[in-house]
Amino acid sequence: MVSPFAYAADPTTQPLLHGPDITYIGSFKLPQPAYGSDPKSFDYGGMGLTVSADGKELYVGGHIYNQSLGRVAIPNPIGGTATLIQAPVNIPGSVGSGTTNLAGALVYNDRLIVQKLIPYDTNGTGSTHAVGNLNVSGFSSFSRLANINSAQFANGYMGLIPPEWQTLLGGSAFTGNSVMSINSMCSNGPSFYVFNPNDVGVKSPIPSTPLMYFDYPDHMLANPNSANNLFSRADQNNAGIVFPSGTRSVLFVARHGYGAPTYKQDDGGCGGGGGEGAKPYRRQVTAFDANDLLAVKNGSKQPYQIQPYGWWTLAGPSDSCGKFAYSGLAYDPNTRRIYAAFDYGESPQIHVWQISGSSTPALRAPTNMKVVP
């Protein structure tokens, strides 16, 4: 299916999105085929979120301990409880030594691409991607992405590059990650690697082109040790990136702690008592210009020189902690809908936004801007 929002104009002249272009439209609950840590449960899940090719289904990660993926029908209209199509199924395979979690997923050419990660990776040498069937079966072994600083730079989220940008940027999809445990093993800000999903399960390592990353300690998006509007070492709830066609906006969606970072101190019940914290928090969109990615592709910029053109608070329900399920973000290019899994524990839900159009900076400005000294 060709998206009705695909534009024939020179993509480098397309407009940038801002806060008013993204409208919250509602949420729906996930069914409960089982409870707790049962392999068939969606509780404490939401990872690996992606949309089926026809836009009618969502792939949703089960309980974080189970490395599993299930399928539900998207309610029409949005609301109520989704219909269960397939209870979460374990995805076998190791990506290295250490505890492994499911991360991103992507449907492409009748295949299901998945990622796994090691949350506390001490050396970054693990694998990243595998491919299986659309019924969550028949997976290949996991392979490492080429041209990455460490596995943590590219084992979080995935998404499609709009058709009009694919030739310019050199591929049909992107993958990336941001900060997790051990900053030196991670991109200290979102990363963006172009790759061809058809290579997964066929080539090892999987060819890729890095167009954005922020390596520690020389090239970070912002100072991770002080309050600011862009990046903190406590920003460890990375939903993912959305790249809508008809625009040049590359939108990183994550929880951002814009207070002073702390370690193992009271963080208002948001997780800082056992690790990094930076309260208060907001669910944030940090917006980058695809023309900057193109400049890296053409050799006039380095991947770590890219800076956002703006940021804003994501519209919709919020709480004091603002957590997403890790890599719990999906985008349907045909309806221009964004789906995100919030970290609701035993009450998993999917929230939905509509990209209603595009705007230029002269017409619209980011909303909910807050200045932090």
Domain-embedded: residue 38:
yes
In tens, the pLDDT along 57-77 reads 999 999 988 999 999 999 999
Tell me, what's the pLDDT at 7?
54
Tell me, what's the pLDDT at 50?
98
What CATH number is associated with residue 152?
2.115.10
Identify the burial level of 85 via C-beta atoms within 10 angstroms of its C-beta, where 0-12 means exposed, 13-18 middle and 19 or more buried. middle
Sheet strands (E) in 142-261: 157-160, 173-176, 192-195, 208-212, 238-242, 249-257
CA distance 106 to 123: 26
| Residue 362: partners with Cβ closer than 8 Å, 6 or more residues away | none
Domain-embedded: residue 362:
no
Tell me, what's the pLDDT at 190?
97
Domain-embedded: residue 364:
no
How many CA atoms are closer than 13 Å to the CA of 62, on its beta-carbon side?
A: 25
Spatial contact of 150 and 216, defined as CB atoms under 8 Å apart:
no
Q: Average model confidence (pLDDT) for the chain?
A: 89
Domain-embedded: residue 361:
no
Stretch 121-135: mean pLDDT, rounded?
Answer: 93
| Residue 89: partners with Cβ closer than 8 Å, 6 or more residues away | 68, 69, 70, 136, 137
Stretch 307-330: mean pLDDT, rounded?
Answer: 91
Instruction: Annotate 313-346 with DSSP letters as a single string.
Output: EPSS---SS-PEEEEEEEEETTTTEEEEEE--TT
| Residue 6: partners with Cβ closer than 8 Å, 6 or more residues away | 162, 163, 164, 245, 246
In tens, the pLDDT along 168-223 reads 999 999 999 999 888 899 999 999 999 999 999 999 999 999 999 999 999 999 99
State how far the alpha carbon of 362 is from the alpha carbons of 196, 251, 359, 366, in Å: 36, 19, 8, 11
Whether pLDDT at 80 is above 60:
yes
Domain-embedded: residue 173:
yes
pLDDT class for 122, splitting at 50, 70, 90? confident
Domain-embedded: residue 369:
no
Q: Look up the domain containing 267 and give its range.
A: 11-355
Domain-embedded: residue 363:
no
State how far the alpha carbon of 211 is from the alpha carbons of 91, 147, 184, 308, in Å: 29, 11, 19, 14
Domain-embedded: residue 148:
yes
Number of domains in the chain: 1
